[in-house]
Amino acid sequence: MHIPDNYLSPQTCAVMFLAAAPVVVYSIKKVKVRLKEKKELAPMLGVAASLSFLMMMFNVPIPGGTTGHAVGGTLLAILIGPDAACIAVATALFLQAFLFGDGGILSLGANIFNMACVMPYVGYFIYSFFRKKGCDGIGAIIGSYLGINTAALFVGIELGLQPLLFHTANGQPLYNPYPLSVTIPAMCLAHLLVVGWIEVFFTFVIYKFVQRVAPGELYGESSGEFKRIKIFYGIILGLIVLSPLGLLAKGTAFGEWSNQELLARLKAEHLASALPHGLSHGLFYQSFLSDYQVPATSSEILGYVLSALIAVLVFLLLSKVLISYAKEKK
């Protein structure tokens, strides 16, 4: 679901930044108010960003040779509210793009809109509807399933519009070469049949576990500190240890291919003998920890685990900064 650079036109990237900006700004304003009232939210933001980042490292195979992953947008919205979840997922996506090369720099606005804006707010709205009727568990299941599938639909639309809107005089696509008739089914079927259920699994299991050990913390209603935050650290540690399982799924997610992979696909499908101009002449950013591998580390598994540890430490450091900010505002 991470759209790389050059798959979307610069115009589309600009539009998606403009679409994501008001949601992110609104979420930041809401979180600032909540931090003034309840400084305990600050460490949970770091925990939430860590959870989302780690969940996205667990790639699962999808029939057809591609892969997918959960995001945790609805889970975080349930735990800390959709506004804080939006900020947490956006932070995770920012770090993924700049430090690990997962998702594009120019397309970051699109990725934030899809995964940090659409998913948490849609998922939480559905969850909240069922919770008010006393069916919180069902709400978590349906909310997480529809949240990630709604985001996947938006990705399919954004990719599929490219050959329709941006092409040469003879109709050759300039960016993503696959039309809506391909991108929407590819994204939606993968998430409806496989990835959506992985999202449900993570959401329901973690939600029920947290509900059992710290029920008063779920909606930020308790007046004391997060006494059970060690539970979340335990979950994070467990996910770090298990993160190499994400390496078992081989193949690249739909629409996330490298130029070499895409060219091979286009030739094999007899669609083109060369890459679209925008893909071959776009932005090529080289991240420091590309593909979640640490330089001078020969083991792929060790590099993956170290990448997970580095990301979590960054998020926890940011939460410390937020704690200092919250204390100053008290």
More confident residue, 104 or 216: 104
pLDDT at residue 169, as a whole number: 93
Structure tokens that stand for 90 in this block: 């956006």
The confidence band for 211, taking pLDDT boundaries of 50, 70 and 90, is confident
- The separation between CA 189 and the C-alpha centre of its own chain, rounded to angstroms, equals 18
pTM (2 d.p.): 0.94
More confident residue, 216 or 247: 247
Query: What CATH architecture does domain 10-329 belong to?
Result: Orthogonal Bundle (1.10)
Q: Check pLDDT > 60 for residue 221.
A: no
pLDDT at residue 43, as a whole number: 87
pLDDT at residue 228, as a whole number: 62
The confidence band for 231, taking pLDDT boundaries of 50, 70 and 90, is confident
pLDDT digits (tens, 9 = 90+) for 243-282: 999 999 888 999 999 999 999 999 999 999 999 999 999 9
Residues 211-232 have a mean pLDDT of 61
Do residues 101 and 291 lie in contact, with contact meaning Cβ atoms separated by under 8 Å?
yes
Q: Check pLDDT > 80 for residue 216.
A: no
* Domain residue ranges of the chain, discontinuous segments joined by +: 10-329
Q: Check pLDDT > 50 for residue 219.
A: no
CA distances from 327 to 36, 39, 223, 262 (A): 8, 7, 16, 50
Instruction: Tell me the average pLDDT of the chain.
Output: 91
Radius of gyration (Cα) for the chain, nearest Å? 20
Residues 212-239 have a mean pLDDT of 68
- Please tell me the distance from the alpha carbon of residue 197 to that of residue 195, in angstroms, as a whole number: 5
Helix ranges (DSSP H) in the chain: 10-37, 41-55, 73-80, 82-95, 108-111, 119-131, 136-165, 180-190, 196-213, 229-242, 259-268, 277-280, 300-329
pLDDT digits (tens, 9 = 90+) for 31-68: 999 888 887 788 889 999 999 999 999 999 998 788 99
- Please tell me the distance from the alpha carbon of residue 89 to that of residue 277, in angstroms, as a whole number: 32
Do residues 222 and 37 lie in contact, with contact meaning Cβ atoms separated by under 8 Å?
no
Structure tokens that stand for 74 in this block: 């609805």
Do residues 92 and 49 lie in contact, with contact meaning Cβ atoms separated by under 8 Å?
yes
More confident residue, 37 or 185: 185
Do residues 110 and 158 lie in contact, with contact meaning Cβ atoms separated by under 8 Å?
yes
- Please tell me the distance from the alpha carbon of residue 311 to that of residue 53, in angstroms, as a whole number: 8
Contacts of 313 (CB under 8 A, 6+ apart): none
pLDDT at residue 224, as a whole number: 40
Q: Check pLDDT > 90 for residue 328.
A: no
pLDDT at residue 16, as a whole number: 98
Q: Check pLDDT > 50 for residue 225.
A: no
Query: Taking the CB of residue 63, how many other CB atoms lie within 10 A of it?
Result: 9
pLDDT digits (tens, 9 = 90+) for 120-151: 999 999 999 999 999 999 999 999 999 999 99
Do residues 212 and 198 lie in contact, with contact meaning Cβ atoms separated by under 8 Å?
no
Percent of the chain with pLDDT over 70: 94
